[in-house]
Structure 1
C-alpha cells in the first residue's frame, strides 16, 4: 500500500464528467466509485483530504502539468460502452460513426458551428451538458490516444478525428 491506502495496482483518479474522485485498477482496467476491498480507510481519508478536497476545485487556476479540453464523442457498436445519454443502445458501425464525426468536423472547420455548441446536442459523452468540457487532467488520466492528441494541441486548436476504445473524438484544447 502507498500513501493512498489502496491495495496494490489501485489508484485514485478524477472523473471530469462528474467532478468526483474514483478508484481505478491499473492491471484489471476497471473503475469503481467505492474504495476496493482491502483499503486502509484511515490512510485513504488523509490522502483524499490532502489531494481531493473542495479547495482544489475549478476556481483555483490551472493546476501544474494539466490541460483542459472539450471534446465531441461519437460512439459506435464496438465502443467500450455502446450507450449514451442520447441512445440506450448504439448500433451504428464504426464506419457510420466516422462519417458522422467527419461531417461534424467539416461544419466546425467551415465556421457553421463550434465544437462546444455541437457537443451539447450531438456528443455521446455525458460532458455534453458542459459543452464537452472535460475539466483539467494530466498525463496518465485519460486513454493514451486521447491524451497524446490533447497534449499535442495548443490552446484554441482542434484535433482531427481521434480513435479510442470509447469511440471517435474531436478534441479542442481550451487551456
Structure 2
C-alpha cells in the first residue's frame, strides 16, 4: 500500500509497537481498529463518548497531594472540605455566584484559571468516581459532591 493512502477525516494510521502491524486510530475517541476505515471518525455522536465539564476541587489533608496553587500545605479535614463545597453549591443554586466565579476563586485545581474548565474528555481519562459522575450528568446539570483521590469536587456538565 502506498503511504499516501487517503483516510477519512479523524483517522490516523499507526504502527503497533508489539506486532509491527498497521492499525487505525480514531483521534476523537482514541479507539483503534485493524480494518482501514471507510467513514469519517465518530466524534461525539450523542452516545456520551466525550463530555466537557467544569469542576471545583477542594482538597483536604487526606487528598493524594494535599497542596495546590492556592495553598502549599492543605490542612483542612475532609469534613471541612465538604462544608465548603456545600456552601459553594448553595451559592450557585441561589444564583449568588456563578460556578465559573467560585472555581476561579476557590478551586484547588490548576483549571481554576479557566473557571474550572477541564475541556472535553473521554472515558478512561479521569479518576473513576469523577468520570462516573461526569458522564451521568445532563448538560447544564451540577453534581452532588464527588470524592476522588484528588479531593472533593462539584462538577458542572457543559457539553
User: What's the TM-score once normalised by structure 2's chain length?
Assistant: 0.72
SS in 1 for 2:57: strand
Q: Do residues 80 (structure 1) and 64 (structure 2) align?
A: yes
2:142 counterpart (136, 146, 158): 158
Q: Structure 1 regions of 5+ residues with no counterpart?
A: 8-42, 53-61
> What aligned pairs does 1:53-132 form with structure 2 within 5 A after superposition?
63-64=43-44, 65-132=49-116
Change (3 A) 1:159 1:3: farther
Q: CA deviation at 1:51?
A: 4.6
Distance 1:109 1:89, change over 3 A: same
Instruction: Give the greater-gyration-radius structure (CA).
Output: 2
RMSD: 2.6
CA displacement, residues 5-34 of structure 1 (integer Å, 9 cap, x when unaligned): 4x9xxxxxxxxxxxxxxxxxxxxxxxxxxx
Query: Which consecutive residues of structure 2, in runs of 5 or more, have no partner in the other structure?
Result: 1-13, 29-41
- Summarize deviations over 1:58-81 as a string: whole Å, max 9, x none: xxxx94211100000000000001
Cα deviation for residue 86 of structure 1 reads: 0.2
Contact map agreement 1:63 1:136 (CA 8 A) in 2: no
- Matched-pair contact (CA < 8 Å) for 1:68–1:136: yes
Q: Residues 91 and 154 (structure 1 numbering): CA distance in 2 closer, same or farther, change over 3 Å?
A: same
